[in-house]
Structure 1
Amino acid sequence: MNNLYNESILVCVYYGPNGERLIKRGCKIANMLQAPLYILTIDPKPFDELDAEKIFYIEQWKEFANSHESAQFIIKDNESRPVSKVIAEVARDHNITQIILGQTAHSRWEQITKGSIINSLVRDVPFVDLHIISVARSIRDEEGIYEKGVRAYLIKDGDQYQLSFNHDKDTVYEGIFFKEVNTDFDNGIFRFMRDAETLQVLVTDGTVTELKNVDLKTAMNLSTADE
């Protein structure tokens, strides 16, 4: 890619469906400017201690980067430094000119709204443009709607799919299952990737009747924030 405008874009993502939205925004800007795109995530834990849900999102982001010639995925794990310091270091290392951050209410990035990260980045990398994007929340658990996601699999069963928590030779899709609270049955949402697209399908009593992407705002109780 010919970087006609000498621009480099850095998208900072945290776990949840909002990461994909931020990446798409960064990709739009990168394509418009014919600039390289970097996708960064930061975690205080070592990679081998991350849970299944986090690993799933990381795999998604890696796949996106691998499918786009101008994109590169960067993970900074086992990080004890402030988020702003890590972002600034990556920005300097890759000559970043524009940084895209997500503003959410329930993540480490909530510090952004308080100005601390912004002030630090303005001080540490003063000649970088900052884009603060309002994004929808991930599955809300403050009202006890869904349990924490766990790795799960779909197995083909006639015209339907059966949810399983064990991988075997008949596994068709691998993803994350978010179970509804206060139920003894496997009811909830199964999130997985198909053809580089993230899908969320309904699970009823351990069965997926169709691979139809559900309306996130209703089925997952997301906020109504839009681009």
Structure 2
Amino acid sequence: MVCVHYGPHGERLIRRGVELSEMLGAPLYVLNVDSSDSDEYNQSKEMFMAVWKRLAEEAGAEFMVRKRRGRKTTDVIVEAAEEKDVTQIIIGQSAQTLWQELTKRNFVNELISKMKMMDLHVVAVQRMRAGLEETHEEGVISYLVKNEGVYQLSDEPEGQDYIKGKFFHELHTEFENGLFRIEQDGKARYLHICEGTLSDPL
């Protein structure tokens, strides 16, 4: 069972799940734990959800969405896994998505302590970045230009408030969706771009 949440890493994780599923000859499940407290429409999230559903369908996997409703994310994951008799769980370790809590050691320990007869696979950010060429076009120099409090993707620097970086356009989409790489404290940081607008906090 692959656990995916808001962000492009979900595609990479699903592909990893497909490989493991085929190797084991086992059915594949893709789980999204919805942590929102309302049913308010979120266009960015819905776009990612559409991609995940398509990938799951193409792989013959079952796509599941479970509301957290005040419960711990670990409880929701284990509950879904037990319901489907899952033996392998895949999660992503990334501080750049709403799965930020997964980077905390206590989350992984807590999840493992609740798992029965299951193995946990944690896919690191660095390994997913190495696979950018599988999911995104080659990066090009671009700019994030601030306009009415929102940073928007641009080919040229405009005004006084802009950020220079490299934009990796997501494959198989007509929209300006992808990752924007900047250098921060000597390290590369990847920001999510959805329909030409920055969706991550700076």
Range class of TM-score, shorter chain: 0.5 to 0.7
Structure 2 stretches lacking a partner, 5+ long: 133-142, 160-165, 183-187, 191-202
Partner of 2:181: 221
State the Cα deviation string for residues 130-175 of structure 1 (Å, max 9, x = none): 111012579xxxxx9478xxxxxxxxxxxxxxxxxxxxxxxxxxxx
How many Å separate the matches in 1 of 2:145 and 2:77? 31
Q: Which amino acid aligns with 2:152?
A: K
Check whether the contact 1:11–1:23 (CA below 8 A) recurs between aligned residues. Answer: yes
How many Å separate the matches in 1 of 2:168 and 2:174? 6
How many Å separate the matches in 2 of 1:29 and 1:107? 23
Equivalent pairs counted in the alignment come to 159
Counterpart of 1:94 (choices 84, 91, 103) is 84
Check whether the contact 2:169–2:176 (CA below 8 A) recurs between aligned residues. Answer: no
Give the 3-state SS of the residue equivalent to 1:102 in structure 2. Answer: strand
Counterpart of 1:31 (choices 22, 31, 44) is 22
Q: Which amino acid aligns with 1:43?
A: D
CA change 1:76–1:67 in 2 (3 A) is: same
How many Å separate the matches in 2 of 1:116 and 1:23? 24
TM-score in terms of structure 2 length: 0.65
Counterpart of 2:41 (choices 45, 50, 56) is 50
**1:113 is aligned to 2:103:** yes
State the Cα deviation string for residues 16-37 of structure 1 (Å, max 9, x = none): 1111001101110101111111
Check whether the contact 1:42–1:79 (CA below 8 A) recurs between aligned residues. Answer: no
**1:75 is aligned to 2:28:** no
CA change 1:29–1:105 in 2 (3 A) is: same
Deviation at 1:51, TM superposition (A): 0.8
State the Cα deviation string for residues 170-221 of structure 1 (Å, max 9, x = none): xxxxxxxx8228858xxx97967xxxx6347769xxxxxxxxxxxx7xx721
How many Å separate the matches in 2 of 1:146 and 1:83? 36
Check whether the contact 2:4–2:91 (CA below 8 A) recurs between aligned residues. Answer: yes
CA change 1:115–1:47 in 2 (3 A) is: same
Partner of 1:134: 124
Structure 1 stretches lacking a partner, 5+ long: 1-9, 139-143, 148-177, 204-215
How many Å separate the matches in 2 of 1:80 and 1:21? 28
Deviation at 1:44, TM superposition (A): 2.1
CA change 1:50–1:191 in 2 (3 A) is: farther
- Identity among equivalent positions (%) equals 33
Check whether the contact 1:190–1:201 (CA below 8 A) recurs between aligned residues. Answer: no
Partner of 1:40: 31
Q: Which amino acid aligns with 1:100?
A: I
How many Å separate the matches in 2 of 1:21 and 1:198? 14
How many Å separate the matches in 2 of 1:128 and 1:121? 10
Give the 3-state SS of the residue equivalent to 1:180 in structure 2. Answer: strand
Mark the structure with the bigger radius of gyration.
Answer: 1
Deviation at 1:48, TM superposition (A): 3.7
